[in-house]
């Protein structure tokens, strides 16, 4: 490779966008050419200067955006549900007749009336408690009848200390099973206080391994920090470093893994592997820094 080719490839070299054989030629050329090496240093300095201009949205901005969107989506939903056709939307199955739709409406009206009237079939549900109903099944039965299965849930409020077994069980269930990731994050955050419990530790490890939400995995990772020296925890942290799709999680995994035991040969191996394929500049730099601090080479050979 000559200096002109090197100059033309320098940008892509620093971004890790070159094929392996071209990257190797670049490195050989840079090792022997002080002028090109100086250009590389200047370009790397420029990258660092630009990196400092990266903006992270504040939580307030994110929260304001989410509120705006919730309001707009509510308006959109109400607008599209404003007509009588909304009764048909959940039962939008090809072939259903208008007569059947009429029956459906009557069933719904009858159901609502039954709930509202004292002494009706719905009286088993506490009258004062708020009830949330969700349709879990609808079925055409013939003779113009439909069958609808509703799952009723009653909202209840509980309070208790974090060391209360019942409170902890509910938090563990919330961390594992709730659909809303924000509730999972809050539950994991509260569970940090009970990290000595094997159940809490297992829940945190499971969240880091397989929760689909980046924020939940980040929270689990942070919560596991005090246990970073335990072999089982380190194994999951190393998996996160190797496989997590989110760069922030990978970067934080490096950070947590280096706590206390920077001479870990397994960590060095994992970082060297990571250097082969990591695309994110921050994670690459962090990995390189740790490898240098361990006096380890930056790659596997």
143-202 positions binding other proteins, by CB under 8 A: 179-182
Contacts of 160 (CB under 8 A, 6+ apart): 166, 167
Q: Please, which residue, 77 or 261, has the CB nearer to other proteins? A: 77
Cα atoms in the Cβ-side hemisphere of radius 13 Å centred on 113: 6
Q: Residue from 17, 27, 230, 266 that binds other proteins (CB under 8 A)?
A: 17
Q: Residue from 281, 285, 294, 296 that binds other proteins (CB under 8 A)?
A: 281
Q: Does 52 bind other proteins (CB under 8 A)?
A: yes
Q: Is 224 exposed, middle or buried (0-12, 13-18, 19+ CB in 10 A)?
A: buried
Q: How far is the CB of 41 from other proteins (least distance, A)?
A: 9
Q: How far is the CB of 73 from other proteins (least distance, A)?
A: 6
**In whole angstroms, what is the distance from residue 202 CA to residue 194 CA?**
12
Q: How far is the CB of 2 from other proteins (least distance, A)?
A: 18
Q: How far is the CB of 50 from other proteins (least distance, A)?
A: 6
Going residue by residue from 203 to 222, which x/- string records binding to other proteins, judged by CB under 8 A? Answer: ---------xxxx-------
Q: Does 15 bind other proteins (CB under 8 A)?
A: yes
Q: Residue from 43, 91, 103, 294 that binds other proteins (CB under 8 A)?
A: 43
Cα atoms in the Cβ-side hemisphere of radius 13 Å centred on 236: 22
Q: Does 42 bind other proteins (CB under 8 A)?
A: yes
Q: In this structure, which long-range contacts are made by residues 205-209, counting pairs with CB atoms below 8 Å and at least 24 apart in sequence?
A: 205/232, 205/233, 205/236, 206/176, 207/175, 207/176, 208/236, 208/237, 208/240, 209/236, 209/239, 209/240
- Residue indicated by tokens 């201009």: 53
Across the strands, what pairs with 188? none
Three-class secondary structure of residue 294 per DSSP: coil
Q: Which residues bind other proteins (CB under 8 A)?
A: 11-12, 15, 17, 42-43, 45-47, 49-59, 61-62, 64-66, 68-69, 72-73, 76-77, 89-90, 179-182, 212-215, 247, 279-282
């Amino acid at each position: 490779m000559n200096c002109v080719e090197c100059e033309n490839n320098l940008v892509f070299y620093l971004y890790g966008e070159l094929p392996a054989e071209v990257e190797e030629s670049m490195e050989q050329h840079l090792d022997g050419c002080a002028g090109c090496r100086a250009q590389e240093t200047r370009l790397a300095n420029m990258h660092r200067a630009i990196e400092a201009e990266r903006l992270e949205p504040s939580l307030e901005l994110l929260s304001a955006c989410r509120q705006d969107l919730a309001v707009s989506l509510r308006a959109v939903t109400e607008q599209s549900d404003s007509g009588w056709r909304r009764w048909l939307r959940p039962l939008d199955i090809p072939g259903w007749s208008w007569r059947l739709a009429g029956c459906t409406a009557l069933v719904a009206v009858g159901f609502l009336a039954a709930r509202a009237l004292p002494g009706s079939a719905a009286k088993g549900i506490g009258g004062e408690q708020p009830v949330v109903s969700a349709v879990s099944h609808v079925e055409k039965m013939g003779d113009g009848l439909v069958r609808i299965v509703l799952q009723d849930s009653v909202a209840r409020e509980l309070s208790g200390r974090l060391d209360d077994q019942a409170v902890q069980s509910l938090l563990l269930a919330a961390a594992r099973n709730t659909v809303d990731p924000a509730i999972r994050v809050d539950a994991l955050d509260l569970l940090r206080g009970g990290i000595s419990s094997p159940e809490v530790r297992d829940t945190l490890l499971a969240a880091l391994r397989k929760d689909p939400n980046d924020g939940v995995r980040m929270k689990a990772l942070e919560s596991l920090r005090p246990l970073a020296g335990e072999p089982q925890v380190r194994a999951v942290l190393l998996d996160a470093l190797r496989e997590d799709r989110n760069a922030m999680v990978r970067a934080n995994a490096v950070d947590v893994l280096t706590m206390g035991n920077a001479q870990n040969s397994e960590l060095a191996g994992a970082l060297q592997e990571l250097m082969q394929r990591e695309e994110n500049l921050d994670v690459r730099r962090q990995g390189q820094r740790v490898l240098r601090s361990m006096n380890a080479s930056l790659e596997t050979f």
